[in-house]
Amino acid sequence: MEKFHKHLWPAGLPEPPLPRERTERRDASEHRQRILEVAQHLFAEHGIDVVSMHQ
């Protein structure tokens, strides 16, 4: 099955661009990894029921 379906488009109008795959910024990936590391540490130290999003 094709990823994109051919659609009817009004004559004379340019076709819209195909969606591009998003690329993740390197710093976003690093921040996500750091958040997961800190969360894992807090869960291990205090327990999952005690840790909040504000810590």
- At 17 the pLDDT is 80
Instruction: Count the neighbouring beta carbons within 10 Å of the beta carbon of residue 51.
Output: 16
Q: Is the pLDDT of residue 2 over 90?
A: no
Answer yes or no: are the C-beta atoms of 17 and 3 closer than 8 Å.
Answer: no
Domain spans in the chain, listed from the N-terminal domain onward: 26-55
DSSP string, 16-42: PPPPPPP---HHHHHHHHHHHHHHHHH
Give the separation between CA 54 and CA 43, rounded to whole angstroms: 13
Rounded to the nearest 5 degrees, what angle is found at the Cα of 29, between the Cα atoms of 27 and 30? 60
- At 42 the pLDDT is 95
**pLDDT tens readout for residues 5-40:** 566 777 788 887 878 777 778 888 899 999 999 999
